Amino acid sequence: MKPRLGRAVAVSRASTRDAQRGVTSIEYALIAALIAIAIIGGVSAAGGANGDSWTAWAAKVSAAIGAVL
């Protein structure tokens, strides 16, 4: 009977290890998602604040190219 008990414990440990790997994968996925959201939010905020500057710069470049041609 002891070999079966030992096998059951080994199977239980393997199941726990597999479950822990799954939990770790989910945690990493959540962390990656939060980082992505933070990056997107930061870029959106910076883009909105700098939008007028880029528009003015693009107008000046277009005018300069138009003057040359």
pLDDT of 1:
47
Is the pTM for the entire model greater than 0.75?
Answer: no
Question: Which residue type sits at 58?
Answer: A
Largest CA distance in the chain: 94
Taking only the tens place, the pLDDT of each residue in 22-45 is 778 889 999 999 999 999 998 888
Report the pLDDT averaged over residues 4-15: 59
pLDDT of 4:
59
